[in-house]
A and B are shown apart, each in its own frame.
Chain A
């Protein structure tokens, strides 16, 4: 039976390297065949926000296509697809109140709304839990 890890994330996208580090860890866990639970708390509910959009970058001298700006929502979708292909699961829960206060209700497919009770349930059912808080 696959092991399960739970991650609690707090940082919003495009602010610091912790979000990218979290994605690296989640991706690696999935690549190794682990199930992953994610509880996105506070600004992290914007990580799977469906309206994230790429843009051109005049400073880089690149068009929208050339710039191919990374989007956390696309990373998450790719990790979920990778997990499905491997027969594991990424269960991503956005804190509902955090979503409401930010107007971040439009998340990508596969993300569900929840509460701290879901986080505790995740942790209880996991082999380990890593909290990556905002500093």
Chain B
């Protein structure tokens, strides 16, 4: 069974979790031999930007020592054989240049999403 995981809601609890919960569960499922890929759309396309820096969170002197590094998490996920698709219309709408992104992404226009979905047994929209 091949499953495409769509991530659209971005930065949902990422500071508390120190990751994105959907990218995390995809990584965990891949470790359990799941045949999965990931599609970033909407605000989640920002996850692929290299220059993100969520460090510096501190409350009452208690510092967060392991801030989320979501672009790095995507690179690791890709290294495990998971394709990372990004909706390029969403990048353009947000003024994000391809040069700002991690390497190895697969870009897909919104108009071709249905065809992409057709290549999977299931599509999970988180």
The residues of A with any CB-CB pair to B shorter than 8 Å are: 8, 10, 41-42, 115-117, 119-121, 123-124, 128-129, 131, 133-135
B32 lies within 8 A of A116 (CB): yes
- A89 and B126 CA atoms in complex are apart in Å by 25
Q: List A contacts of B31 (CB < 8 A).
A: 117
Verify A123–B3 contact, CB threshold 8 A: yes
Do the beta carbons of B29 and A117 come within 8 Å of each other?
A: yes
Which candidate, B20-28, B46-54, B77-85, B86-94, is the interface stretch facing chain A?
A: B20-28
Report the Cα distance A115→B126, complex, angstroms.
Answer: 17
25 contacts between A and B (CB under 8 A): A10-B21, A41-B21, A41-B25, A42-B13, A42-B21, A116-B28, A117-B29, A117-B31, A117-B32, A119-B25, A120-B29, A120-B33, A123-B1, A123-B3, A123-B122, A128-B122, A129-B122, A129-B124, A131-B124, A131-B126, A133-B9, A133-B22, A133-B125, A133-B126, A134-B9
> A116-B29, A133-B125 are known contacts; what are 18 more A-B pairs with Cβ within 8 Å?
A8-B124, A10-B126, A41-B21, A42-B13, A42-B21, A115-B32, A116-B32, A117-B28, A117-B29, A117-B32, A119-B29, A120-B33, A120-B34, A123-B3, A123-B122, A129-B122, A133-B126, A135-B9
Whole-angstrom distance between the alpha carbons of A117 and B26 in the complex?
10
A41–B122 CA distance with the chains assembled, in angstroms: 19
Q: How many residues of B contact A (CB 8 A)?
A: 18
Q: Which of B3, B25, B122, B124 meets A116, CB within 8 Å?
A: B25
The A-contacting residues of B in range 2-16, CB under 8 angstroms, are: 3, 9, 12-13
Q: Which residues of A contact B25 (CB under 8 A)?
A: 41, 116, 119
